[in-house]
Amino acid sequence: MDFDVIVLGAGIVGVSAALHLQDRSRKVALVDRGAPGEGTSFGNAGLIERSSVEPYPFPRSPFTLMRYALNRSTDLYWHSASLPAFAPWLARFWWESAPMRHAAASRDMLPLIERCLVEHDALIARAGAGELIRANGWLEAFRTPAAFERGVAEAGLTARRHGLGITPLDAAALLAHEPSLAPGFCGALHWLDPKSVVDPSALVKAYAQLFVQNGGTLLTGDAASLDALSPGWQVNTQDGTAAAPAVVVALGPWSDTVFVKFGYKIPLREKRGYHMHYAPSAQGVPSAPIVDREYGYVIAPMRRGLRLTTGVEIARRGLPPTGVQLERAERIARPVFGFGERLDPQPWLGFRPCTPDMRPVIGPAPAHRGLWFSFGHNHHGLTLGPVSGRLLAEMMTGETPFTDPAPYRADRF
């Protein structure tokens, strides 16, 4: 089985890269050990986050750091035995989050964020997946007046600087806008530009089906079996060995199973997170995802029910689920959102692939011809999958990239 490119990973990032390469007349094989959209892309809040013009930094407030140190918060939970392994990565994350370096990361990420909706909209139209999309933005809700006032001031500056639409809602306006809510929030910011997805896994599957319909090959295989030829690359699949002059590693948090094998020391770590679906309130469901800003969870209306997604858990990838954050968030969220019983037999556990400088790795491997990377999109894999696919395909086919890819190069570490 000979191809022009093998893409390893059938999540949103890998499927998008495969589509953009296919659009440029490349014969592409998409290889994963499971079905498309069943890994990290399966569990998220479903946001195409056009308004996220600043990456999530390491907190620098002493009050916040003390709260996290007590390990009782909802938005962060850390596993004590895992901290030594994460310490160097966290130290680099803290250093990169200093104001000037964080501002530089924001500038570097802006070209990708600015094109995220355009690229998604094009694929959504081609895949006939419009029924999965809601153009209602999202709401950033606050519980205390002081936090709400700060949020309004900061968001206003951001919106004006980047031409984003935003509507502040006081408590009464919020309840009028979202009648399914019970009292509990003192106000919210309605970000108007983002879109949401009612079934992220189904969206990835729709994109993958488009790839297959256009002549792409979807294979089941083990990315860890990747080997270098002379020249080119090969990987074992259930249908035999697939070979190509070029290969793309788009395995999200599992990308290290490949790049470490070839000697690359990229500081990619996973932030764990959970979700659970609940029966909706008798009063209905929110019109858009709602972030409880002060407790760090999201409630998103999905096909299956109301999805609660948690904040960050710092724990090694192989450790069993703890469920601590989900239980904490559930207790806080239920009085306001009024949801009913759990609908899933057990919480879903996923891994967000993150780099400490808050930028993905997109581009060629420095020391291996034909080896390409696209991973480490932090909390925005769903948002940035299609635009990353375009940038990577432009680089691989010799087109002029729509933006300078230097900030995402693999050798920057």
Predicted local confidence at residue 369, as pLDDT = 97
Q: pLDDT-derived band of residue 67, with 50, 70 and 90 as boundaries?
A: very high
Stretch 43-66: mean pLDDT: 93
pLDDT in tens, 256-299: 999 999 999 999 999 999 999 999 999 999 999 999 999 999 99
Stretch 312-331: mean pLDDT: 94
Are the beta carbons of 105 and 357 closer than 8 angstroms? yes
d(CA 209, CA 77): 37
Are the beta carbons of 362 and 381 closer than 8 angstroms? no
pLDDT in tens, 8-48: 999 999 999 999 999 999 999 999 999 999 998 998 999 99
Predicted local confidence at residue 153, as pLDDT = 97
d(CA 104, CA 94): 14
Burial of 136: CB neighbours in 10 Å, binned 0-12, 13-18, 19+ = middle
Q: Which element (helix H / strand E) includes 257?
A: helix 256-259
For the chain, what percent of residues have pLDDT higher than 90?
97
Q: pLDDT-derived band of residue 170, with 50, 70 and 90 as boundaries?
A: very high
Q: pLDDT-derived band of residue 143, with 50, 70 and 90 as boundaries?
A: very high
Average pLDDT score, the chain: 97
d(CA 167, CA 163): 13
Burial of 124: CB neighbours in 10 Å, binned 0-12, 13-18, 19+ = buried
Q: pLDDT-derived band of residue 400, with 50, 70 and 90 as boundaries?
A: very high
User: Does 230 have pLDDT greater than 90?
Assistant: no
For tokens 């599992």, name the residue: 254
Token digits of residue 27: 């014969």
CATH 3.50.50.60 matches 1-57+97-132+196-268+355-413: yes
Token digits of residue 375: 């991973």
pTM, whole model, 2 decimals?
Answer: 0.96
pLDDT in tens, 84-125: 999 999 999 999 999 999 999 999 999 999 999 999 999 999
